[in-house]
């Protein structure tokens, strides 16, 4: 496997505030990672540290196999961590030409990158005439000029209208499908679910979950049950290895699964114990419900 970035017990304190708290994760080539967390959870600080603009307090990180200096490794990284800042009176092409000079990269790829972000037909328009979405897309083109191994974006759709949001997400997916690794920070579960394959969920600088987005959704679901004798039903469910939490509200029992089981299997099992169900529904929590479950317990 090809590792792009490794964080090991990274910590950042601003006076009494611990913005990033013992954070460890790795980024492998070809995946799309989301750092998901509410405002103030440490996303921007984490990106700032690995981009060498914020000093860490403790822990470490290294780019690629760790053999290069951070300064050199960052030449293979494209990042947008602030609002795009281009010259308003210059055209898209003129602005990107300037970026090429500053970054000391060839200007040959300007048109190719403008095409990727859907701005080729506006290449000679002044930056001041661009919508917020177009400005953000130009920033993405700019970050791609050095053909980076990884593209880093902090809240890439903040402030955009629904159409602008959709365009940016489609562009990110296209760039990822062509092999560029992506790391994006977002406070939107929906965004991470739509765009990312992997996620690090942050709260108060701590990781609550690190893994695949699908893995977050790996719950086996739950049954909502009723029968004439709820006490007997509850007793039959208790202690069975397939079941976890059992909740009772009046006549209704909700039982969470520890392992897969379909409704007919449960029905048969209970029937064999002399229990006839008057109500049987199987449900699975939405990703949002699971996200709230993951984030609710820890302070
Ligand atoms: N330069 C700084 N000086 C003092 N405190 C800071 C500084 N930068 C960030 N913080 C604090 O660190 C914590 C994490 O902030 P950070 O900006 O990393 O969070 P975030 O998840 O990116 O949130 P947002 O989406 O609002 O930017 C917050 O409590 C913030 O107030």
What number is the ipTM of this complex?
Answer: 0.95
Give the SS3 label for residue 66. coil
If you measure from the C-alpha of residue 296 to the centroid of ligand 1, how many angstroms do you get, rounded to a whole number? Answer: 21
Distance CA 194, CA 169 (A): 8
CB-based contact 84:139 (threshold 8 Å) = yes
Distance 185 CA to ligand 1 centre (A): 13
Give residue limits of the domains in the chain. 3-216, 222-283
3-class secondary structure, 88? coil
Q: Which helix (H) or strand (E) holds 8?
A: strand 3-14
Tell me the per-residue pLDDT of 120-171, one tens digit each, with 9 for 90 and over: 999 999 999 999 999 999 999 999 999 999 999 999 999 999 999 999 999 9
For residue 278, report the distance from its CA to the centre of ligand 1, in Å. 53
Q: How confident is the model at residue 81 (pLDDT cuts 50, 70, 90)?
A: confident
Give residue ranges with CB within 6 A of ligand 1: 14, 17, 19, 37, 39-45, 187
Which of these CATH numbers, 3.40.50.2000, 3.30.70.2860, 3.40.50.300, 3.90.226.10, describes 3-216? 3.40.50.300
Q: For residue 287, which of 214, 224, 220 has the smallest C-alpha distance?
A: 214
9 Cα–ligand 1 center, Å: 18
Nearby residues of 5 by Cβ (< 8 Å), 6 or more positions away: 26, 27, 50, 61, 62, 63, 64, 150, 183
Index of the ligand 1 atom closest to the CA of residue 37:
21
- Of 182, 147, 148, 153, the closest CA to residue 137 belongs to 153
Six-digit token pair at 32?
């799309």
Residue 217 confidence (pLDDT) = 66
**Domain 222-283, what architecture?**
2-Layer Sandwich (3.30)
> Which of 18, 40, 80, 207 for mutating ligand 1's site (highest number of atoms within 8 Å of CB)?
40
Q: How far apart are CA 207 and CA 191, in angstroms?
A: 18
pLDDT > 90? residue 285: no
Q: Is residue 23 predicted with pLDDT exceeding 50?
A: yes
């Amino acid at each position: 496997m090809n590792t792009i970035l490794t964080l090991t017990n990274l910590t950042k304190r601003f006076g009494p505030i611990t913005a990033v708290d013992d954070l460890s994760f790795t980024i492998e080539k070809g995946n799309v990672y989301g750092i998901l967390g509410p405002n103030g959870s440490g996303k921007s600080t984490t990106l700032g540290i690995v981009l060498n603009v914020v000093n860490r307090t403790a822990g470490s990180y290294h780019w690629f196999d760790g053999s290069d200096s951070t300064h050199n490794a960052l030449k293979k990284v494209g990042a947008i961590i602030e609002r795009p800042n281009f010259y308003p009176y210059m055209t898209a092409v003129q602005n990107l030409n300037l970026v090429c000079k500053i970054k000391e990269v060839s200007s040959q790829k300007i048109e190719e990158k403008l095409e990727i972000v859907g701005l080729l037909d506006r290449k000679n328009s002044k930056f001041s005439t661009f919508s917020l979405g177009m400005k953000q897309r130009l920033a993405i083109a700019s970050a791609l000029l050095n053909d980076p191994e990884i593209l880093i974006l902090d809240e890439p759709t903040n402030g955009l209208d629904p159409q602008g949001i959709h365009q940016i997400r489609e562009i990110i997916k296209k760039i990822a499908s062509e092999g560029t690794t992506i790391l994006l920070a977002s406070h939107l579960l929906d965004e991470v679910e739509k765009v990312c394959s992997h996620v690090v969920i942050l709260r108060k600088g701590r990781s609550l979950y690190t893994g695949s987005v699908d893995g977050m959704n790996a719950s086996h679901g739950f049954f909502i049950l009723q029968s004439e004798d709820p006490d007997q039903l509850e007793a039959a469910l208790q202690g069975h290895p397939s079941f976890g939490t059992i909740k009772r509200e009046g006549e209704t029992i909700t039982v969470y699964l520890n392992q897969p089981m379909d409704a007919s299997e449960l029905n048969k099992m209970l029937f064999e114990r002399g229990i006839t169900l008057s109500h049987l529904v199987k449900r699975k929590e939405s990703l949002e419900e699971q996200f709230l479950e993951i984030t609710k317990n820890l302070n």
